[in-house]
């Protein structure tokens, strides 16, 4: 095999990769479901169901949970109260009220920081690598989280769900980030945690380091082998693996 060229830019995911907001999102959906059907929905079951949706848009997540836990009728009854067009939108509105309260707690966000990953962002920035961020979160949420982590000024490009038509696993969000960075996708490196995000990077032709966590590890390994993807389960080893990938990679079919 021949050595592939070094990467020129790095594109990070946010939720679950730099900060464990996925657990906060799961809790907000669970609390909203329990509020819609008090005493009839087990919040723990909602959290478990959310884990299967990690990396997908809020509309997809909300509809999935609405259907699975029979929340539509209760959500329909509160549509007018919250000014929502559909039961799904009513559920989202209720859940966002809970989640926004969580995001207003800077100390809470900082407790969710994944320090090896955020340190890597700062180290790569200091080394002069162009950095991008892709996320299916909305920009208003992203600004709050990155500001709390003091990372807002570290990224040259930030692409959110607000900027694209299709969220992950569609490649659109990664292709747009690479375009805005001015680097061909094959010369970028993605850092992701979820299978949904990994598949988005793969579809864009971007090699990926999968930094798994307790919520995503099983699903990522169950899908392996994933061409062009190196899985890292130990966060203390993340920077070393990324550094090695930035220098050179063996040709794996995506860096041609």
| pLDDT tens for each residue of 9-68 | 999 999 999 999 999 999 999 999 999 999 999 999 999 999 888 888 899 999 999 999
Extract the tokens encoding 39: 């005493």
Q: What pLDDT shows up at residue 7?
A: 86
Interval 200-233: pLDDT, tens: 999 999 999 999 999 999 999 999 999 999 999 9
Q: Residue 251 and residue 229: Cα distance in Å, rounded?
A: 12
In the block, which residue shows the tokens 């007018």? 80
HSE (CB half, 13 Å, CA atoms) of 158? 17
Among 1-15, 28-42, 155-169, the range scoring the smallest mean pLDDT is: 1-15
Domain 3-20+113-250 architecture: 3-Layer(aba) Sandwich (3.40)
Q: Residue 96 and residue 159: Cα distance in Å, rounded?
A: 21
Q: Is the pLDDT of residue 151 over 60?
A: yes
- Residue range 89-103: average pLDDT? 96
pLDDT band at 5 (very low <50, low <70, confident <90, very high): low
Q: What pLDDT shows up at residue 4?
A: 56
Q: What pLDDT shows up at residue 1?
A: 38
Q: Where are the domains of the chain?
A: 3-20+113-250, 22-106
Q: What pLDDT shows up at residue 253?
A: 40
Helix segments in 7-86, DSSP class H: 21-36, 43-51, 58-68, 72-77, 79-82
Q: Residue 163 and residue 138: Cα distance in Å, rounded?
A: 9
Strand partners, 255: none
Interval 106-128: pLDDT, tens: 999 999 999 999 999 999 999 99
* Helix (H) or strand (E) segment spanning residue 250: strand 249-250
Q: What pLDDT shows up at residue 182?
A: 97
Nearest C-alpha neighbor of 141 from the set 160, 154, 155, 125: 160
List the 157-159 sheet strands across, edge first: 157-159, 131-134, 9-13, 188-192, 208-211, 229-232
Q: What pLDDT shows up at residue 34?
A: 96
Q: Is the pLDDT of residue 236 over 50?
A: yes
Q: Residue 81 and residue 83: Cα distance in Å, rounded?
A: 6
Q: What pLDDT shows up at residue 57?
A: 87
Helix segments in the chain, DSSP class H: 21-36, 43-51, 58-68, 72-77, 79-82, 87-103, 106-111, 115-126, 139-148, 172-181, 195-203, 217-223, 238-247
* Helix (H) or strand (E) segment spanning residue 133: strand 131-134
HSE (CB half, 13 Å, CA atoms) of 187? 12
Percent of the chain whose pLDDT exceeds 70 = 95
DSSP state of 174: H
* Helix (H) or strand (E) segment spanning residue 187: none
Q: Residue 94 and residue 74: Cα distance in Å, rounded?
A: 12
Q: Residue 87 and residue 66: Cα distance in Å, rounded?
A: 8
């Amino acid at each position: 095999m021949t050595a592939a060229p070094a990467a020129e830019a790095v594109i990070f995911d946010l939720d679950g990769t730099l900060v464990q907001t996925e657990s906060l999102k799961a809790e907000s959906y669970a609390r909203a479901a329990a509020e819609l059907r008090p005493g009839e929905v087990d919040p723990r079951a909602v959290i478990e169901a959310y884990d299967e949706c990690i990396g997908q848009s809020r509309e997809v997540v909300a509809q999935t949970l609405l259907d699975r836990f029979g929340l539509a009728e209760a959500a329909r009854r509160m549509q007018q109260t919250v000014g929502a067009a559909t039961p799904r939108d009513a559920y989202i509105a209720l859940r966002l009220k809970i989640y926004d309260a969580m995001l207003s707690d800077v100390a809470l966000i900082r407790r969710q920081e994944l320090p090896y990953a955020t340190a890597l962002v700062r180290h790569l920035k200091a080394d002069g690598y162009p950095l991008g961020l892709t996320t299916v979160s909305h920009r208003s949420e992203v600004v709050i989280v990155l500001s709390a982590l003091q990372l807002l000024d570290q990224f040259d490009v930030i692409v959110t769900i607000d900027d694209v038509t299709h969220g992950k696993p569609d490649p659109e969000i990664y292709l747009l980030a690479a375009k805005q960075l001015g680097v061909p996708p094959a010369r970028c490196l993605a850092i992701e945690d979820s299978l949904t995000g990994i598949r988005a990077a793969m579809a864009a032709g971007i090699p990926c380091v999968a930094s798994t966590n307790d919520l995503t590890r099983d699903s990522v390994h169950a899908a392996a082998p994933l061409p062009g993807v190196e899985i890292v389960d130990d966060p203390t080893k993340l920077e070393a693996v990324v550094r090695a990938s930035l220098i050179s990679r063996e040709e794996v079919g995506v860096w041609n």
